[in-house]
Amino acid sequence: MWNWLKSLLSSTEELEDPMKYLIVGLGNMHPDYDGTRHNVGFEVLDLLAQELDASFKNDQLGDVAEAKYKGRTLVLLKPSTYMNRSGKAVRFWMQKKKIMPDNLLVVVDDKNIPFGSLRLKGKGSDGGHNGLKDIQAQLNTATYPRLRFGIGSDFHTGKQVDFVLGKWNNQELDTLLSHLKKSSEAVKSFCTIGMKFTMEKFNRS
């Protein structure tokens, strides 16, 4: 009976796959934003795709790559909707690829933590970040995993926007690659050993 029911369900509806993950890097597609702190989510995904031998292709609402890692399927998404409308792309690809909510991971810049530090959380406020704010609005929940990449707060009063949208300075560039690699490892850890152990390993750095 159960085999028949399972067969019937699978023939009429594609079920969510617990081994499939949607990894979203936030940023802005325009070339003017390349190499800026606000685009670090894109940079993490570019490195991750390179490590997993995956290639991005332009698709609906973003650039998308798909890779296999230790039995998991990783769908990598760089939204083309601009930062403030990231939620539309996230919702679309979650539905299209039948991604479980717990298997969504958003990689985002965070000025509230030191440069290069990582903070993985399963829920929380948007922290004033417009990309996270739109994702929360589109998904109608603040409960979804996010990996925050610290960009620091080395700016004067009134210069926050210039700093966030500014290019990495030479001092930051000296260690940026090592921090990006650590972020990529955190993403792969999340997809294999889960939220709890990944938090314990990477949130202390």
- Calpha distance 115→138 (Å, rounded): 29
Torsion sign, CA atoms 67, 137, 102, 17 = negative
Instruction: Tell me if residue 38 is catalytic.
Output: yes
How many angstroms separate the Cα of 140 from the Cα of each of 64, 96, 104, 110, 134? 24, 18, 14, 22, 9
DSSP letter (8 states) at residue 32:
G
- Calpha distance 34→2 (Å, rounded): 52
* Three-state secondary-structure class, residue 78: strand
* Structure-token pair, residue 29: 């597609």
Could you tell me which residues come within 8 angstroms of residue 111 by beta carbon, excluding any fewer than 6 positions away? 150, 151, 152, 153, 160, 163, 164
Q: Which of 30, 38, 129, 179 is catalytic?
A: 38
By annotation, the residues acting in catalysis are: 38
